[in-house]
Amino acid sequence: MNIVIVGAQWGDEGKGKVIDVLTEDADILIRYQGGHNAGHTVIADGHEFIFHLIPSGLLHPGKVGLIGNGVVIDPEALLDELGKLQARGVDIIRAVKISDQAHLIFPYHKRLDLLEESTRAGRIGTTGRGIGPCYVDKVARCGIRVADLCNPKVFAEKLRQNVTEKNRLFELLYREPPLSYDELLARYSGYAKQLQSHVVNGVRFLHDAVAQGKRLLFEGAQGTLLDIDHGTYPYVTSSNATSGGVCAGAGVPPTVIDRVIGVAKAYTTRVGEGPLPTEFAPALMEQIRTKGKEFGATTGRPRRCGWFDAVVARYAVIVNGCHSIAVTKLDVLDEMETIQICTGYRSGGRIITEFPADLDVLARCEPVYESLPGWRAETGEAASFEELPAAAQRYLKRLEALLEVPICLISTGSKREQAFKVGCW
């Protein structure tokens, strides 16, 4: 079975943990969008490993990961991650493949990301990794791909054009010193030598894998509400984080996808700017942020936290075509006396249950809450749905009813063992 994992909120839903659990049923793990703005945390054998670019199931022996054409790659970040994986005993040449059609991030992208953020009227709160500017170049058709990196003559020419163009911007618009073409050429030529043995034709690689009956697991990064088309634009990332991004970002037809699983936290978080209708007041924010260790895995920034927003999650179920939902971090709510679920928004005297595209309307929406009793008991030891406290079961059943899809997995802690499947995918 070929499965897609997507975030059903604003990213950081605990996808890394869910992917780690699902990896036992997969042969090939694929990233299809985003870049090292992602941070998928896996805790195995008491050690924490944060994957940024490499698919996060690779700590399991024998698995192969593909960084698909829809991903934007910072070679320096990738080599750093490959080194860490190798230190853990993984045969990285065998295990990590890179699509020759993926685009590359350069220092000028990172610099532009930071400059644009500092001069923009309304900050987005990007991760500052150069993700947006790299996708801009891709769409503007001046980007540089992995295939170009592997062809010294083509690479030298494309880099020269890009550096000339970007330096003009730095000097004339931002009054910044130029970047050195020679230095970049030397540095990236070195990366080419180190990465060459990982490069494959991604389309052919996955086509052959499907023909051989290999099981694929597509790892979405970020989340539905950060999707460039379907998220809270402009407070979004620059790629299609939804399941629709799989076909374009990995080079597979829609017919290979058997299942889509949305991942949602038992509450809601977001990093960076933009609307978060169910955001907590400061005291509760502090409590949940501390208990849930809600600090960005990539930037360390504190995450904003709020109650579970069923309008958002239901929207994610529809956009992604989720067959089921994995609910993570249930244990973070263990001490709550009462738990609220947002079931709709009050907008101009009426209740709406569709997520509005107009952020001005969203800003004036007031969440409508349903209150449920908390369970005030630890859930971290539960190994099945039946072992959860009755009030926790009731909460999850209510989420299922609101989202109109079954829950397939529940996670109650950061350790690999603290998760169990419920029913089927």
Residues of this chain that bind ligand IMP (CB under 6 A): 11-12, 37-39, 124-127, 129, 131-132, 221-222, 226, 235, 237-238, 271-272
What is the residue whose two structure tokens read 């971290």? Answer: 380
Q: What CA–CA distances, in Å, run from 365 to 105, 130, 164, 198?
A: 38, 33, 47, 49
- What torsion, rounded to 10 degrees, do the Cα atoms 399, 401, 404, 408 define? 50
Minimum CB separation of residue 260 from ligand IMP in Å reads 19
Minimum CB separation of residue 261 from ligand IMP in Å reads 18
Q: Is 52 a catalytic residue?
A: no
CA distance 119 to 67: 32
CA distance 133 to 104: 11
CA distance 20 to 168: 45
CB nearer to ligand IMP: give 41 or 343.
41
For the chain, the residue count is 425
Minimum CB separation of residue 129 from ligand IMP in Å reads 5
Minimum CB separation of residue 231 from ligand IMP in Å reads 9
Minimum CB separation of residue 295 from ligand IMP in Å reads 11
Q: What letter would DSSP give residue 226?
A: G
Burial status of residue 372 (CB atoms within 10 A of its CB: 0-12, 13-18, 19 or more): middle
Whether 63 and 28 have beta carbons less than 8 Å apart is answered as yes
Crossing angle (nearest 10°) for helices 152-172 and 181-195: 140
CB nearer to ligand IMP: give 132 or 143.
132
Contacts of 128 (CB under 8 A, 6+ apart): 110, 113, 114, 117, 299
Minimum CB separation of residue 83 from ligand IMP in Å reads 21
Minimum CB separation of residue 33 from ligand IMP in Å reads 10
CB nearer to ligand IMP: give 312 or 388.
312
Q: Give the tokens for residue 129.
A: 């990794």
Q: Is 40 a catalytic residue?
A: yes
Given the residues 12, 74, 137, 227, the one annotated as active site: 12
CB nearer to ligand IMP: give 2 or 269.
269
CB nearer to ligand IMP: give 39 or 413.
39
Estimate the share of the chain in helix, then strand, then coil, as percent rounded to the nearest 5: 40, 20, 40
Q: Compute φ and ψ for 417, nearest 5 degrees.
A: -70, -20
Whether 294 and 301 have beta carbons less than 8 Å apart is answered as no
CB nearer to ligand IMP: give 14 or 344.
14
Given the residues 40, 52, 103, 230, the one annotated as active site: 40
CB nearer to ligand IMP: give 189 or 299.
299
Relative to beta strand 28-31, strand 216-219 is parallel
Indicate the residue type of 227. D
Active-site annotation, residues: 12, 40
